[in-house]
C-alpha cells in the first residue's frame, strides 16, 4: 500500500477530489500553506494499493493546471531598505507536487 501526498492549488482541489472519487479513490483534504508564497493550498492524502498509484497520478496530472502568479518579493535582510524598490516577480505555481510513500501498516478501528 502507498500513501500519496499531493500538494495542489485550492482552485483545482474540488475538481480533483471529484475525479478521484469517481474512480473509487478515498481522499482526505488538508488545508495547508505553501512555505514560499505563504498562501493557502490543499494537500490531499490518498491511500491506495500499489497497483493503483499510476491511475491516481494520471488523475492528478489531468486535473491540476500550472499557473503563473505575481509575487511581491520580501525586502533584503540587513540591506538598505530605503533604496530598495520591490518589483513583483512571476513564479510558476502548480500543477501538483506529489510524494508517494510506502505504508507499513493500515488500520481502521
Ligand atoms: P509554495 O512553497 O508556496 O511555492 C509556490 C511556488 O513558488 C512553487 O510552486 C515554485 O514555483 C515557487 N517557489 C517555491 N520556492 C521558491 C524559491 N525558493 N524561489 C523561487 N520560487 C520558488 P511549486 O514548486 O509547484 O510548489 C507548490 C507548493 O507545493 C509549494 O507552495 C509547497 O506548498 C509545496 N511543495 C513544493 N515542493 C515541496 C517540497 N519539496 N516539500 C514540501 N512541499 C513542497
**Spatial distance between the Cα atoms of 14 and 93, rounded to a whole number of angstroms:** 17
The percentage of residues in the chain with a pLDDT greater than 90, rounded to a whole number, is 70
- Which position has the higher pLDDT, 17 or 73? 17
CATH says 2-74+85-102 is which class?
Answer: alpha beta
pLDDT average, residue stretch 104-109: 97
- Ligand 1 pocket, 91 CB below 6 A? yes
Average per-residue pLDDT in the chain? 90
- What is the CB neighbour count within 10 angstroms for residue 33? 10
Closest ligand 1 atom, CA of 94? 25
pLDDT at residue 34 above 80? yes
- Predicted confidence at residue 86, as pLDDT, reads 72
Answer yes or no: is the C-beta of 69 below 6 A from any ligand 1 atom.
Answer: no
| Interatomic CA distance for residues 9 and 93, integer angstroms | 8
This prediction has a pTM of 0.85
pLDDT band, residue 70 (cuts 50/70/90): confident
Choice from 30, 34, 39 to test ligand 1 binding pocket (greatest atom count within 8 A of CB): 34
* Residue 34 CB coordination number (10 Å): 13
Amino acid at each position: 500500500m502507498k500513501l500519496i501526498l499531493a500538494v495542489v492549488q485550492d482552485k483545482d482541489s474540488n475538481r480533483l477530489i471529484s475525479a478521484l472519487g469517481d474512480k473509487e479513490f478515498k481522499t482526505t483534504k488538508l488545508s495547508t500553506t505553501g512555505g514560499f508564497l505563504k498562501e493557502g493550498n490543499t494537500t490531499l492524502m490518498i491511500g491506495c494499493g500499489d497497483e493503483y498509484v499510476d491511475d491516481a497520478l494520471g488523475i492528478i496530472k489531468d486535473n491540476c493546471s500550472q499557473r503563473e502568479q505575481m509575487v511581491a518579493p520580501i525586502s533584503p535582510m540587513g540591506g538598505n531598505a530605503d533604496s530598495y524598490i520591490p518589483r513583483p516577480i512571476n513564479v510558476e505555481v502548480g500543477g501538483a507536487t506529489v510524494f508517494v510513500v510506502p505504508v507499513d501498516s493500515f488500520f481502521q478501528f
